[in-house]
Structure 1
């Protein structure tokens, strides 16, 4: 069943959704930074790199958790 769902995924649409999500994140709110709102389009390069690194690490952590869950489920089948 999982393999059938895997084949039916539209990878172009999936990439488009993630790209849209990334494009929409252009501002870091003031309640997160503690002082003022930071616009990433006007921010220094290091802040933009830090933002990309944060989302990359978040994606890697989610992937790792999903792999652990998949391995755990496959052991108990």
Structure 2
């Protein structure tokens, strides 16, 4: 995966950056996502409902990329 940076244009955006890693789950999830693609079921298996919430937050502040994957059933 390509390393990316987040450009902060406003001081207010720093708050969301700080909150991106303010819990162990968010921090570990962010590290996992920065090293490769992980499916939502795998995130829920590793981190539970808190992992889903963390992913939603990271997506909301545009710290993640998403990719659609077709399942075995098509």
Normalising to structure 2: TM-score of the pair? 0.28
Compare the two structures and name the one with the higher helix fraction. 1
Highest RCO, 1 vs 2 (Cα 8 Å, sep ≥ 6):
2
Q: TM-score, structure 1 length as denominator?
A: 0.28
Higher Cα radius of gyration: 1
